[in-house]
Amino acid sequence: MAYVTAPNRASARRIARAVLPDRLAACANLGPISSMYWWR
């Protein structure tokens, strides 16, 4: 599994469209994400 961030949705779609046809990725999930962390 690889987790890749992109600056915007258009960039994320370009990345997905670049890797999916050559089967460099099995799928691409695009969506807004909220993260919470505990950090020292």
Res 16 pLDDT > 90 = yes
Decide if 37 is inside a domain.
no
Q: What is the DSSP letter of 20?
A: T
Decide if 11 is inside a domain.
yes
Decide if 40 is inside a domain.
no
Decide if 38 is inside a domain.
no
pLDDT, tens digit, 9 for 90 and up, residues 24-36: 999 999 988 888 8
Decide if 16 is inside a domain.
yes
Residues of the domain holding 24: 1-29
pTM of the complete model: 0.73
Q: Which token pair is 14?
A: 């370009």
Pairwise CA distance, residues 24 & 21, whole Å: 8
- Per the model's pLDDT, the better-predicted residue between 32 and 23 turns out to be 23
How many domains in the chain?
A: 1
Decide if 36 is inside a domain.
no
Decide if 5 is inside a domain.
yes
Decide if 35 is inside a domain.
no
CB of 30 closer than 8 Å to CB of 19: no
